[in-house]
A = this chain, B = another copy of it.
């Protein structure tokens, strides 16, 4: 089984991004029986979405799992939905913001992830890592690439599992705060994403 696994470069002033670290770790040690194609995407508006969609078209994976960081969330969250909205005040890594615009002009309002969400949540909890379904992935890059992929799959009638998973910050990103954010060590994040891949 060939799975495309993507992460993001660091952004917002941090020098780390758990999603990139997890992708790199699993690239060099994939689950048994899984052929892994990996990408660490730039945190740049349209470019990130373009690149992941092109890779799906060239690579024809059997499933797509996209990873990103959700500052402040304490557990792994499997995203239920991607919405046709781009809206952020925090600049991406090209210095751009967006205000109340569609990801894809004329696209449907939203797509549910084509993932066995609650089965994935259970498989993560089974290894002792907190996890839950999330009902919003925001309206920043994480949502955007998720919408782009689900939209491209719908148009091409590619009936493969695909969706977005938000990861907590790494402890190393929370060492100078007077009041630390929630975080999760890298080894647990890797184990959780490995469990996700094994449900596919």
Contact = CB atoms under 8 A, between A and B. Distances in A.
A74 interface: yes
Contact of A83 (B80, B100, B138): B80
B188 A130 contact: no
Contacts of A129: 171
Contact of A174 (B75, B87, B135): B75
Given A135-B138, A177-B132, A74 B188 contact: no
Interface string A81-113: 101110101000000000010000000111110
Contact of A109 (B87, B112, B138, B174): B112
Contact of A100 (B81, B118, B172, B175): B118
Given A100-B118, A185-B188, A179 B132 contact: yes
A103 B181 CA distance: 28
27 contacts: A74-B183, A75-B174, A80-B83, A81-B81, A81-B110, A83-B135, A84-B112, A100-B118, A109-B110, A109-B111, A125-B175, A128-B172, A130-B171, A130-B174, A130-B175, A130-B177, A130-B181, A131-B180, A132-B177, A132-B178, A132-B179, A132-B180, A135-B136, A135-B138, A136-B136, A182-B182, A185-B188
